Amino acid sequence: MAIDDHRQKGLSVGVISKFLHKRSLARWSRAARGAKRAPLSRLRATAEQAMQLRHHLDDVIFQAEERLALPRIGSNAIFKPRNSDWSWRPEIWKGPLPRVGLVAVDSQTPVGTQATVFHDCKISELTTRQVRNRREEDLAPYGLRMDVFRFDGSFLSLAINLPDSAVNGLKKRHLIRMNAIVEFEKPLEIFARLNLRHGPNTEQVVRELPLNQEDCWVEFDLAYTKLNEKRVERMWVDLIFEGPEMNQVILRDVTFSRSPRAEL
């Protein structure tokens, strides 16, 4: 009997809550329709109430999106080859940046602490914005959206600095793999250039991303470089966008992994 009473109370609370919610929606719907004709004194009071309500609503929506959105912030789930000895996702795609969006981005502008935008435009009409990934198939919590309008330059690139752990124990028998999930409004070409600094020299290997599929990857075989294994200092990757004008590109995820080549 007690269980039935508890269920009835729960149903009653639910019904009352829905009733009050409908009344509140109706009230604010009337206020919105009458805002153009309401006396200024009444409109001012209504606006103050609306702003107070919006503050709480925005807070609820923000907290709900952060908790309900997939995947979880800080997730480090990465697809990588079975024999990988190192993997990494840059901060852009892993956690919130201090500055979510940038407008009229100049060359050499940092995006977080691990990436930098380079271009040679006289007038920048480039914007970047970190966006929240919410698709069930996404492993990365965040993505990076780049909107390019008029583009009077000859190149646009995003340089990603890889951490020291990427070059610790690095050998010529290693394969460096980059996985990316890319969306775009119009077809374009994206090249990935691996840069390896060893002593006074820098090795470069360039691969074109196969954008005929959303989830694409490229591999850099270090066996074909003149890498001095004893003098490796740092590694970074330039993502080079060809023909970016009047386009929107979303990098849903970018990850890197390292695996030794199979011995023959």
Q: Are residues 193 and 253 in the same domain?
A: yes
Q: Is the pLDDT of residue 68 over 70?
A: no
- CATH number for the domain harbouring residue 183: 2.60.120
The pTM (predicted TM-score) of the whole model is 0.72
More confident residue, 42 or 200: 200
Average pLDDT value for residue range 206-233: 92
Q: Are residues 137 and 52 in the same domain?
A: no
How far is Cα of residue 47 from the mean position of the Cα atoms in its chain? 35
Q: Are residues 93 and 63 in the same domain?
A: no
DSSP state of 141: S
Residue 74 lies in a domain: no
Residue 125 lies in a domain: yes
Q: Tell me the two tokens of residue 163.
A: 């951490």
Number of domains in the chain: 2
Q: Tell me the two tokens of residue 264.
A: 């023959």
Q: Are residues 57 and 130 in the same domain?
A: no
Domain stops at, among 68, 96, 120: 68
Q: Tell me the two tokens of residue 33.
A: 């329709």
Q: Tell me the two tokens of residue 153.
A: 């330059």
State which residues form the domain around 46: 2-68
pLDDT reported for residue 219: 95
**CA–CA dist 86, 227 (Å, integer):** 19
**CA–CA dist 148, 245 (Å, integer):** 6
Q: Are residues 99 and 169 in the same domain?
A: yes
Q: Are residues 147 and 199 in the same domain?
A: yes
Q: Is the pLDDT of residue 3 over 60?
A: no
Cβ count near 226 (within 10 Å): 10
Residue 77 lies in a domain: no
Cis peptide before 71 (omega within 30 of 0): yes
Domain stops at, among 68, 100, 118: 68
Q: Are residues 129 and 225 in the same domain?
A: yes
Q: Are residues 99 and 148 in the same domain?
A: yes
Q: Are residues 102 and 214 in the same domain?
A: yes
Q: Are residues 62 and 168 in the same domain?
A: no
Region of poorest pLDDT, from 40-54, 112-126, 243-257? 40-54
β-pairing, 101-102 vs 126-132, is antiparallel
Q: Are residues 256 and 194 in the same domain?
A: yes
Cα separations (Å) of 29 from 22, 51, 60, 72?
Answer: 10, 15, 20, 35
pLDDT reported for residue 139: 87
Count helices and strands (H / E) in the chain.
2, 13
CB-based contact 95:119 (threshold 8 Å): no
Average pLDDT, the chain: 87
Q: What is the 3-state secondary structure (H, E, C) of 93-105?
A: HCCCCCCCEECCC
Average pLDDT value for residue range 45-52: 84
CB-based contact 174:167 (threshold 8 Å): no
Residue 192 lies in a domain: yes
CB-based contact 85:258 (threshold 8 Å): yes
Rounded to 5°, angle at Cα 201 from 259 and 158:
65
Q: Are residues 101 and 36 in the same domain?
A: no
